[in-house]
Amino acid sequence: MALERRAFFAPEDVFEAVKAKVEAARRHGEGVDYLAFVPDGEPTLDVNLARELELLRPLGVNVAVITNSSLLGREDVRADLARADWVSVKVDAVDEEAWRRVNRPHGGLRLGAVLDGISAFAKTFAGTLVTETMLVRDVNDGAEQMREVAGFVAGLGPAVAYLSVPTRPPAEGTVRPPDEEAVARAYDAFVSRGLPTELLIGYPGDAFAFTGNVEDDLLSITAVHPMREEAVAELLAKAGASPAVVGKLVADGTLAEVEFGGKKFYVRTFRAAGGGGEEEG
Of 133, 122, 27, 147, which Cα lies nearest the Cα of 90?
133
pTM of the full structure: 0.75
Please give the DSSP secondary-structure letter assigned to residue 6.
B
CA atoms of 19 and 56, how far apart (whole Å): 8
Residue type, 180: E
Write out pLDDT tens, residues 104-156: 898 899 999 999 999 999 999 999 999 999 999 999 999 999 999 999 999 99
Q: Where in the chain is the domain with CATH 1.10.10.10?
A: 214-273
Which pLDDT tens digit goes with each residue over 241-277? 999 999 999 998 888 888 766 888 887 775 444 433 3
Query: Taking the mean position of all CA atoms in its chain, how far away is CA 242?
Result: 30
Could you read off the pLDDT of 41-83 as tens digits, one per residue? 799 999 999 999 999 999 999 999 999 999 999 999 999 999 9
Q: Say which CATH class 11-200 falls into.
A: alpha beta
**200-233, pLDDT tens digit by residue?**
765 555 667 677 788 888 888 876 566 889 989 9
pLDDT score of 271: 47
Domain(s) labelled CATH 3.80.30.10 in the chain stretch across: 11-200
Pick one of 3.30.470.30, 3.40.50.150, 1.10.10.10, 3.10.290.10 as the CATH number of 214-273.
1.10.10.10
For 55, residues 6+ apart whose C-beta sits below 8 A from its C-beta are 11, 12, 14, 15
Of 241, 230, 213, 239, nearest to 265 by C-alpha is: 230
